[in-house]
């Protein structure tokens, strides 16, 4: 038997989330190369909060165990690459959406979806980074690929005190960039400066409708927010700059003109962590293991037990949560 958060759809299409004891025989089948994992830690991401609350149609199959990421130890493996005792991480691949996810003590997944846990990290640290930190690293790598390197100018991070934002600020600052963090949280400035932000600006400077072209400021942007914020970020990006878009905390819309692209050669790059190719994931996790240390984890993350995860979903969607929430599934 193992404990899991189970999501079910009510007749009125709302979502019911309960903590249950399940038999291992309930674990979903995997076509080939199935790996059973004893989960040590999972996290509460924005997408998990959407799934648990039912605010957006994240869940595609019912019942569902949410949790788009986890770290754990291989218990049994029908996949050539993995053997019992291997320490692994999983991010995305539809886990927690179409396939049972990490907010449980056990998971059965395809071995193709797993990445080896870097030596330097334990399961808690890996999940303190989680999909948020891994996505922030993908954004940093996307900026680098377009030639936005330290010294090219200021980098704007939006949604800065959230999970992706916190890691974006810290990773960019540690890589040598000058980071400007936009936050809506009262008292967020001290936290963001501790993470490495050189300057902190109010979220409101970006969140209202703005002009198609604005004063050029950013060499690069990591945007976790979408909507008017992303539009204003593009409109104030310098000639030839790059905007990495990964989130929609303000909204999925993008009220933008083509002006920044055709007049300033700005590039808008989409960053997806869910289906990212394996080689890029491995590269991102290796860099994260080299960059993230215990003090950073201590600043960004806090730990809760599995039973508490459901109650944390709504505050997270309301933008009231700072940093990352790691879920100790065995507590």
**Residues engaged in binding ligand NDP (CB under 6 A):** 45-47, 131-132, 135, 159-165, 183-185, 188, 203, 207, 224-225, 229, 246-250, 271-274, 316, 319, 321
Burial of 217 (0-12, 13-18, 19+ CB in 10 A): middle
At 167 the three-state DSSP class reads: helix
Q: Are the CB atoms for 158 and 142 separated by under 8 Å?
A: no
Nearest approach, Cβ of residue 168 and ligand NDP (Å):
9
Nearest approach, Cβ of residue 94 and ligand NDP (Å):
12
Nearest approach, Cβ of residue 3 and ligand NDP (Å):
24
- CB-nearer residue toward ligand NDP: 26 or 314: 314
The span from the CA of 207 to the CA of 271, in Å, is 21
The span from the CA of 259 to the CA of 257, in Å, is 5
Comparing CA positions, the residue from 158, 166, 316, 323 lying closest to residue 226 is 158
- CB-nearer residue toward ligand NDP: 46 or 82: 46
Nearest approach, Cβ of residue 20 and ligand NDP (Å):
25
The span from the CA of 249 to the CA of 86, in Å, is 35
- CB-nearer residue toward ligand NDP: 220 or 264: 220
The span from the CA of 131 to the CA of 293, in Å, is 17
Distance of CA 42 to the CA centre of its chain: 12
Q: Are the CB atoms for 115 and 282 separated by under 8 Å?
A: yes
Report the residue closest to ligand NDP, judged by CB: 162
Token code pair at residue 93: 């691949």
Nearest approach, Cβ of residue 228 and ligand NDP (Å):
9
Nearest approach, Cβ of residue 52 and ligand NDP (Å):
13
The span from the CA of 90 to the CA of 173, in Å, is 26
Nearest approach, Cβ of residue 263 and ligand NDP (Å):
26
- CB-nearer residue toward ligand NDP: 22 or 195: 195
At 104 the three-state DSSP class reads: strand
Nearest approach, Cβ of residue 183 and ligand NDP (Å):
3
- CB-nearer residue toward ligand NDP: 74 or 271: 271
Dihedral sign (CA 140, 323, 195, 235): positive
Q: Are the CB atoms for 17 and 5 separated by under 8 Å?
A: yes
* Ordered DSSP codes for 6-31: EEEE-TTS-EEEEEEEE-GGGSPP-S
- CB-nearer residue toward ligand NDP: 99 or 106: 99
């Amino acid at each position: 038997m193992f404990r899991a958060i189970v999501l079910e759809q009510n007749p009125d299409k709302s979502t019911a989330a309960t903590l249950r004891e399940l038999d291992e025989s309930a674990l979903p089948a995997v076509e080939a190369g199935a790996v059973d994992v004893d989960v040590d830690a999972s996290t509460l991401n924005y997408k998990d909060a959407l799934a648990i609350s039912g605010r957006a149609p994240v869940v595609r199959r019912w019942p569902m165990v949410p949790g788009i990421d986890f770290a754990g130890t291989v218990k049994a493996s029908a996949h050539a690459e993995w053997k019992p005792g291997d320490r692994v991480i999983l991010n995305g691949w539809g886990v927690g959406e179409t396939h049972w996810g990490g907010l449980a003590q056990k998971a059965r997944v395809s071995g193709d979806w797993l990445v080896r846990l870097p030596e330097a990290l334990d399961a808690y640290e890996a999940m303190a980074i989680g999909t948020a930190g891994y996505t922030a690293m993908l954004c940093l790598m996307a900026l680098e690929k377009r030639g936005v390197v330290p010294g090219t100018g200021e980098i704007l991070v939006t949604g800065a005190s959230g999970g992706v934002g916190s890691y974006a600020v810290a990773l960019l600052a540690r890589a040598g960039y000058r980071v400007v963090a936009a936050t809506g949280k009262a008292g967020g400035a001290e936290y963001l400066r501790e993470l490495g932000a050189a300057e902190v600006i109010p979220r409101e400077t970006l969140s209202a409708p703005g002009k198609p072209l604005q004063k050029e400021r950013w060499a690069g942007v990591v945007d976790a927010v979408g909507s008017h914020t992303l539009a204003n970020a593009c409109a104030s990006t310098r000639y030839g700059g790059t905007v990495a878009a990964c989130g929609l905390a303000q909204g999925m819309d993008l009220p933008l003109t083509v002006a920044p692209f055709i007049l300033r050669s700005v590039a808008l790059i989409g960053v997806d962590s869910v289906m990212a190719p394996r080689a890029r994931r491995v590269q991102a996790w290796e860099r994260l293991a080299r960059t993230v240390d215990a003090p950073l984890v201590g600043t960004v993350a806090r730990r809760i037990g599995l039973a508490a995860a459901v109650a944390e979903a709504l505050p997270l969607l309301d933008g009231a949560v700072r940093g990352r929430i790691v879920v100790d599934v065995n507590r």
